Amino acid sequence: MTTIKLTGAMPLYEQIKTYIVQGIQDGRYRPGERIPSERELAEQLGVSRLTVHHAIKGLQQAGLLVAQVGRGTFVSPRPLNQQLEALTSFTEDMRLRGNAPSSQVLSAKVCPAPDDIARFLDVRPGTQLAVLQRVRIADDQPMALETSHLIASACPGLIDRYDFSRESLYRVLRQEYGLALAHAEQTIAARGATRDEARVLGLKPNAPVLHMTRVLYTADDRPLEYVISAYRGDSYTFHVVLRQV
Ligand code: 16G
């Protein structure tokens, strides 16, 4: 069973959200099935019921869980899209959709930060970055080409120690390096696939892709990762919850 690591760096309810998302990811809680009650989770994790309630509410708002009056809280049957409110990884998104995630690593190396990327990561140009380029695959279909740039000193040895054709980057950062991934800023824009993207994604050159960038922050509000990706425009949708302000 997954155990919750209380790091102290992240608010408790965020850690409980991560615990539940990981439960969905590793199959402990399956799509359409009921999760333990707030009381059971509070006892299991040694936290207050109110904190569990807060975490579950957040996951309901993000569309990952659904409440059924008088019956309990259930894992959403099969979320079909990336929930923009929840900070999830490709691996988590695909498992939530019921697809098997994998990756093909095109390159993995440590190199100095160019000016533009250094700016996003709030470091000096030339700072060592771990750069990981992967084709992200769902079942057998390539879904995205993704290049992650991470501040190497925050996760020393990352590139040498782990095989990212099998590993989830977020899992390694959270569990092996104890980093509290707190929030991210993401942009999405439409454009045509470059020749290289079209080749690895099995698309015609210039077919529509969603160009995404993400800056991932740790709980101390420092950028950790800057990602540039191209997701196939024909198979990916994004879901955003908008509220009256
Ligand atoms: C998602 C993130 C990406 C992150 C990756 C980690 C977007 C646009 N990008 O693909 O920033 O690096 O997840 O995935 O959502 P992993 O933990 O499965 O390796």
Q: What is the tens place of the pLDDT at every residue in 186-230?
A: 899 999 999 999 999 999 999 999 999 999 999 888 999 999 999
Q: Which amino acid is at 83?
A: Q
145 vs 93, more confident: 145
> From CA 191, how far away is CA 45, in angstroms rounded?
45
Is any atom of ligand 1 closer than 6 Å to the C-beta of 146? yes
Q: What is the pLDDT of residues 126-142, one digit of tens each?
A: 999 999 999 999 988 99
3 state SS of 16: helix
Nearest-CA residue for atom 8 of ligand 1:
212
Q: Has residue 2 got a pLDDT over 50?
A: no
d(CA 152, CA 155): 5
Q: Give me the pLDDT at residue 77, please.
A: 73
CATH number of 82-239: 3.40.1410.10
**Which of 8-12, 27-31, 49-53, 149-153 shows the lowest per-residue confidence on average (mean pLDDT)?**
8-12
Q: How far is the CA of 170 from the centre of ligand 1 (A)?
A: 7
CB atoms within 10 A of CB 131: 19
Q: 159 with 134: CB under 8 angstroms?
A: no
115-129 burial string, b = 16+ CB within 10 Å, else e?
eebbebbebeeeeeb
Q: What is the mean pLDDT of the chain?
A: 87
Q: Which CATH number fits domain 12-75: 3.40.1530.20, 1.10.10.10, 1.20.1560.10, 2.60.40.10?
A: 1.10.10.10
| C-beta 229 within 6 A of ligand 1 | yes
Same fold yes or no, 12-75 and 82-239: no
Atom nearest to 89 CA in ligand 1: 13
Q: Does the pLDDT value for residue 119 go beyond 70?
A: yes
Q: Is the pLDDT of residue 81 over 60?
A: no
pLDDT at 33 > cutoff 60: yes
Spatial contact of 164 and 173, defined as CB atoms under 8 Å apart: no
For residue 89, the CA-to-ligand 1 centroid distance in Å is 4
Q: 143 pLDDT band (50/70/90 cuts)?
A: very high
Q: Per-residue pLDDT averaged across 170-186, rounded? A: 90
Where are the chain's structural domains?
12-75, 82-239
Residue 51 Cβ < 6 Å to ligand 1 = no
The atom number, within ligand 1, closest to the CA of 170 reads 17
pTM over 0.85: no
Ligand 1 touching residue 22 (CB < 6 A): no
Task: Region of 97 please: left (phi>0), alpha (psi -120 to 50) or beta.
Answer: alpha
pLDDT interval class at 80 (50, 70, 90): very low
- What confidence score (pLDDT) does residue 217 get? 94
pLDDT at 92: 82
Distance 95 CA to ligand 1 centre (A): 13
Ligand 1 atom nearest 101 alpha carbon: 18
What pLDDT is attached to residue 1?
Answer: 44
Mean of pLDDT values over 74-92:
70
Measured distance CA(194)–CA(234) in Å, rounded: 16
